[in-house]
Amino acid sequence: MHPIRAVLFDLDGTLADTAGEIAFALERAFASLGLPPLPEAEVRELIGRGIASLVQRALERLGAAADPRLAVERFEAAYAETVGTTATLYPGVATSLERLAAAGLPLGVVTNKARAFSVRLLEQLGVAHRFAAVICGDDGWPKKPAADMMLAACAQLASEPAATLLVGDSANDVLAARAAGCPVWCVPYGYNEGRPAETLRADRLVAGIAEATDRVLG
């Protein structure tokens, strides 16, 4: 394995626990369409592929015949009012980002989440300033698990993919890193569509961002 010269992170389920506010926004959107809510536990299993996929699959779980485009619009309007309000960083994230930055490693975020929501969330959590690259699902590249977003982040950080670690929580993260030629470590607590982290076949499973930071810094 090449020495790690830069670190990329997935956002939802890796850096921050956002499922509660996403579920609340989805509940509000569905209520406006006369639909019942999905339990938060089920919403957690739908996070990671972007808003359109989240809403479409939620409608399918309900067996609802609502217009998906209208449902997405309602969700985006509701989420704009709730993003960053109840989300929290996972334990050790803030300190770990500070340690990595102090060691001179450029940091980035690669997320299928839309840019407006991603940037606001990072700002609300107080960590936006730590990232030299933030690549989002509506920036024009094919979403993860394609390699494009990963390669765009590497280019922005001026780091070779083989020396750029991705820390994520899902199969999409592992597949995207593999396609881009990046090493990938995964945390066990995220939103891997309800599947155990042990099934991800990441290069390493780490208990959290603090352990990942310890290993990166040697």
* Rounded average pLDDT over 72-81: 96
Residue 6's nearest CA partner among 201, 156, 188 is 156
Specify the pLDDT at position 139.
Answer: 97
- Using CA atoms of 159, 165, 166, 168 in order, give the dihedral in degrees to the nearest 10: -160
Q: What is the pLDDT of residues 178-197, one digit of tens each?
A: 999 999 999 999 998 888 88
Q: Give the Cα separation of 47 and 112 in Å (integer).
A: 9
Active site residues: 10
The residue among 193 and 138 whose pLDDT is bigger is: 138
For residue 86, pLDDT over 90 is answered with yes
Specify the pLDDT at position 119.
Answer: 97
Q: Which residues pair with 108 in a beta bridge?
A: 8, 133
Whether the predicted model's global pTM rises above the 0.85 cut? yes
For residue 2, pLDDT over 90 is answered with no
- Structural domains of the chain sorted by starting position, each given as residue range(s) with its CATH number in brackets: 6-17+88-217 (3.40.50.1000), 19-82 (1.10.150.240)
pLDDT band at 1 (very low <50, low <70, confident <90, very high): low
Mean pLDDT of the chain, nearest integer = 96
For residue 52, pLDDT over 70 is answered with yes
Q: What is the pLDDT of residues 8-51, one digit of tens each?
A: 999 999 999 999 999 999 999 999 999 999 999 999 999 988 89
